[in-house]
Amino acid sequence: MRLAGLLAFPFGVFLVAVMQRSPLMVAVLAAGMIGVSLVERLRLASLAGAPAPVALAPLLPGFAVRLGGLAGLFIILLGILALFRDTSLARGLGLEDAAIFFGISGFALAVNAISARIATTEMSGVLSSLNASFRNSGPASGIADGEIIEGEFYDPETDPNSPPRR
């Protein structure tokens, strides 16, 4: 699911290249990637119960990297398409671009939300099984007045090397 969310934006660049839309759309899709990443950070922070600091300093290099990667893919795809047909790109953004942007961003958000819900369900199952195993290995299972020292059980009454009690 997360892989589908990651591959949504390169697929959007593929659509932009095939439909011969404006190169500005690549920057819009890179901004959409940043937006989806920010939403996922906020969602993770709310699940962890921690405050989610939003700083612009890490967002700008992330935007530059995403823009460079998507622009490179766009240029390669246009080069391949130019081998087989004439290419003339649109000069501005239009309704088709908005549909691509909202469709791709919505898909990525939906897939990430489904993946987060599945991960929450799986984690609660693992935590409940761990809690059950710890409940079953407590004092009721035969371990009484001993101490656990560095991972070993030490009972002074049964250890022959311990000094006698006074």
pLDDT in tens, 121-151: 777 777 777 777 776 665 544 444 555 556 6
What pLDDT sits at residue 163?
63
Q: Which residues contact 165 (CB under 8 A, 6 or more apart)?
A: 156
The rounded mean pLDDT for the chain is 80
One-letter amino acid for residue 106 of the chain: G
Count of CB atoms situated within 10 Å of the CB of 156: 13
User: Residue 26 — very low, low, confident or very high, per pLDDT cuts 50/70/90?
Assistant: very high
In the predicted model, what is the mean pLDDT of residues 24-43? 89
* pTM (two decimals): 0.68
